[in-house]
Structure 1
Amino acid sequence: YKLVDEAVLYQFEISDIICKKTNYHMKEVERINDDIRNVYQQATENYDYIGLRTEMQWKRHYKNNYKFICYNGDQPEGYVIIYFPKDNGNWLEDLRQTIIIRETLWLNHMAKQTIFNFLWSHRDQRKYIAGVFPLSENIIDHLKTPRVKARKIIVNSLLRIIDVKSVLIGLKYPVDDFNIIIQIHDKFCNWNNGLFKLTSKNKIINVEFQNSAIGFIDLETDITYFAQLIVGYRTIKELLEFGFISINQEKLELLQKIFPKTNNNFIDDF
């Protein structure tokens, strides 16, 4: 397993939220419905997402929580799931004065602002909002003071690639028409321990497992750092700097384009 995703835990005063009028509206629902699932699907498609939310995980999200969907007319554009803790815990102070965000996703800035407006409307019920947000997400500029009670960067996801070939086939690449040979070292999974010829032609991806290289090896690394690379947590240059990978220098520019830095945010275990 290797770190592939960080997040930020915020706890801030609800009254500090900057409320701005939008044309969107919020609606409470009793169950996780297709509108929530559709937002979830679209939001996660923005990433090279390789997790899959199970029905059991959905149940954990809606049990004993309050669910609200953000709409633009009849079109769902975001949602927030919240709960009101009854007891203080040891992970945050003043929990009995805090609304906890179980999960929130939005598809555009207008939906994000509408969800923050909705949270602001609860300022007379409790003093604080607490939630975990992607490291890349701008939260501070939605607050006017801001009086942030807690802000902590946390480990959000550790990833272990079980099947390299399946992952390489399933990824979305920002480059068309290329071919590279990747050597992966994995002492626990022999089907990953070897060479993979990755080819893209006319947006069709083909991956072949090889026992020996035909030509130059373009990228060589351990399975752990390969996980960081394919989800965009680390770049080719960052991994080269510490000697975690070796590459064919003639393919440096191509490799950087194939595996760019991205703002992945894993929200499920799988």
Structure 2
Amino acid sequence: MKYDYRLIREDEINQIVKIRDYCFRYQYTGNYLEDFLHWAKICKTIGAFDGEKLAGQVMVFPLNMTIHHQPFVMGGISFVATYPEYRNAGVMKHLLIRCLEEMRKQGQLISVLGPFSVSFYRHFGWDLFFDKVHYTFPIDLFNTKKGDMGHLERFSYTENREQLELVKELYHTYALQTNGMMIRNEDWWKRLELRQPDASFALSIAEDGQPQGYIRYIMNGQTFEVLDQVALNLTAEQALWEFIKVHRSNFTQVTGTAAVHQSFGTQWDDPQFKKEIVHDKMIRIVDVERFLAVYPFQGLTKRLYLKVRDAFAPWNEGVYRIDSKEVTRVSEKDVSLDECLMMDISSLSSYLVGYHALKWYQYQGKASGSEHVLKEWDKVIPKNQPQFYGHF
């Protein structure tokens, strides 16, 4: 059967809502529905149509993130859905290929998604790039010694809301200092508010009057849930944990998320509490040539060559010459493969964002090249592990 793959029009958004509700087995109502409809209007949603009926869809969120402290335009893949009668017919394959074409057209050089199946999306060129830990610990884990909370201001979306602007600025500063963070625009801050309107904030203020850290949190029964935690320095981090600690008469446990590489909790006297490692984010380079042209190589002085394999974005296939002035596609016959680093698009994507060192990819059979080539590449790739906490 032949399907029509195209962008879904605004007057067809009702079909987006219906397929989402059916495939995800629960309906959005209230604030969640308001948020979804807002994003349905500003996203590029690719649909597979059987006549006038929507058979499957993929939404591409217009987002931004940092890679080694540099902002990149990113396409966030979400609400991937196909009605059961159209599954196992190649619909999703064609939708994802069409999405890659659309993201390239929109200048979204990279793409991020939360996979329902890692192996499925690896097949199409995405790969894991962030290991997250979900933590849960009893609040009496904190020692009873009084710490220094410093100057801390508490507010919510309904009380002292003007402080929210300071939080937004603080988050943006932190995001630009951190590899892999999503850059939040006003639409995203509105989304957080719509989805968790009861959240509260605690803002740590330094001695010079400047914000230095914050948490966004909700109090759910006997649980203190940390939704967001940003600290520009250790003083701010300790002040925020002291703020959480003084709630110990109100709650029995604290939950939240952190990056695995931060070794969360080991700074405390008793770090043996429940931690669950989650691999829930994957990344893909959409346009290799344009991505490499703006990638923040460090100390690039020698010419490098890269051979890329990409079965689903043919514009990425080929050999690239990289030097301090430009990135150029070259004919494979003009370059000795002994000079090339060779990787497929999925491994290359996670490598360049800092997930693992090149030696790891070589060991796993995901990168090949001479020892000299591997050494030269290792010199110029920044060594910053990523953090990504956005959910879409």
- Structure 1 length normalisation: TM-score? 0.83
- How far off is 1:227 after superposition? 1.3
From 180, 186, 189, the counterpart of 2:313: 189
Which structure carries more relative contact order (alpha carbon 8 Å, separation 6+)?
A: 1
Query: What RMSD in Å do the two structures reach over aligned CA positions?
Result: 2.5
Q: Judging changes above 3 Å, is the alpha-carbon distance between structure 1 residues 23 and 17 closer, same or farther for their aligned structure 2 residues?
A: closer
Alignment of 1:222-237 (within 5 A): 222-237=344-359
SS at 2:281 equivalent: strand
- How far off is 1:146 after superposition? 4.8
CA contact (8 A) 1:197 1:208 kept: yes
Q: Which residue of 2 aligns with 1:25?
A: 151
Matched letter for residue 78 of structure 1: G
Number of matched residues? 255
Matched letter for residue 303 of structure 2: N
Matched letter for residue 293 of structure 2: I
Q: Which residue of 1 aligns with 2:330?
A: 210
Q: Judging changes above 3 Å, is the alpha-carbon distance between structure 1 residues 249 and 219 closer, same or farther for their aligned structure 2 residues?
A: same
- How far off is 1:249 after superposition? 2.8
Residue by residue, what CA displacement relative to the aligned partner does 1:130-154 show, whole Å, maximum 9, x if unpaired?
A: 0011112243234444562x21111
- How far off is 1:195 after superposition? 2.1
CA distance in 2: counterparts of 1:178 and 1:39, whole angstroms: 38
Q: Which residue of 2 aligns with 1:91?
A: none
- How far off is 1:111 after superposition? 1.1
CA contact (8 A) 1:17 1:142 kept: no
From 381, 386, 391, the counterpart of 1:259: 381
Q: Which residue of 2 aligns with 1:161?
A: 285
CA distance in 1: counterparts of 2:324 and 2:240, whole angstroms: 40
CA contact (8 A) 2:128 2:282 kept: yes
Q: Is 1:178–2:178 an aligned residue pair?
A: no
Q: Which residue of 1 aligns with 2:180?
A: 49
CA distance in 2: counterparts of 1:179 and 1:133, whole angstroms: 38
Q: Which runs of 5+ in 2 are unaligned?
A: 1-125
Q: Which residue of 2 aligns with 1:127?
A: 252
From 139, 143, 149, the counterpart of 2:264: 139
Q: Which runs of 5+ in 1 are unaligned?
A: 86-95
CA contact (8 A) 1:195 1:213 kept: no
Residue by residue, what CA displacement relative to the aligned partner does 1:11-46 show, whole Å, maximum 9, x if unpaired?
A: 112232246644742212334733222322232223
Matched letter for residue 332 of structure 2: S
CA distance in 1: counterparts of 2:282 and 2:349, whole angstroms: 9
CA distance in 1: counterparts of 2:183 and 2:254, whole angstroms: 28
**Relative to structure 2, which stretch is displaced further, 156-165 or 56-65?**
56-65
Q: Which residue of 2 aligns with 1:93?
A: none
Matched letter for residue 26 of structure 1: L
